[in-house]
């Protein structure tokens, strides 16, 4: 079976099916999905497969707090150029954080 990116006409039906299925499993009453995530799920261009779409919908339902899905965290497009992004602060180990905290307290004394 071809990947979802080659069967875009199936995305709306699959998205609706997974929303109703996952809402029932989670016990949430999902009335609808806002336009932005609906359009995004229907325009999915990544490598994706049906199982991946199901997991995205499940995560969206679990993360939503009301009757409307406002976000579906789609995976990044593999063709996206990430080279122009500036790196964020580097992660530090627990030991480094502890050392910095102790030094900051000592400076305050």
Domain-located, residue 94: no
- Is 47 domain-assigned? yes
Residue ranges with strand state E in the chain: 32-33, 68-69
**pTM of the full structure:** 0.57
Q: Give Cβ neighbours of residue 92 (< 8 Å, ≥ 6 apart).
A: 100
Is residue 14 in a domain? yes
Please state, in angstroms and rounded to a whole number, the distance separating the CA atoms of residues 73 and 64: 12
Q: Has residue 58 been placed in a domain?
A: yes
Does 26 map to a domain? yes
| Structure tokens that stand for 55 in this block | 């997991």
106 lies in some domain: no
Q: Is residue 103 a part of any domain in this protein?
A: no
- The CATH number of the domain holding residue 16 is 1.10.8.60
The pLDDT of residue 75: 61
Mean pLDDT by 10 residues, the chain (109 residues): 77 83 87 70 64 84 82 61 52 84 89
Cβ neighbour number for residue 1 with a 10 Å cutoff: 7
Number of domains in the chain: 1
Residue 42 in domain: yes
Give me the domain span that covers residue 31.
1-76
């Amino acid at each position: 079976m071809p990947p979802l990116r080659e069967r875009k006409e199936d995305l709306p039906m699959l998205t609706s099916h997974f929303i109703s299925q996952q809402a029932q499993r989670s016990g949430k009453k999902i009335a609808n999905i806002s336009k932005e995530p609906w359009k995004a799920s229907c325009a999915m261009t990544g490598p994706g497969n049906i199982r991946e779409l199901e997991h995205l919908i499940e995560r969206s339902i679990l993360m939503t707090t009301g009757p409307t899905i406002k976000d579906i965290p789609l995976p990044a497009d593999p063709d996206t150029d990430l080279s122009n992004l500036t790196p964020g602060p580097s992660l530090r180990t627990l030991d480094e954080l502890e050392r910095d905290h102790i030094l900051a307290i000592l400076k305050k004394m």
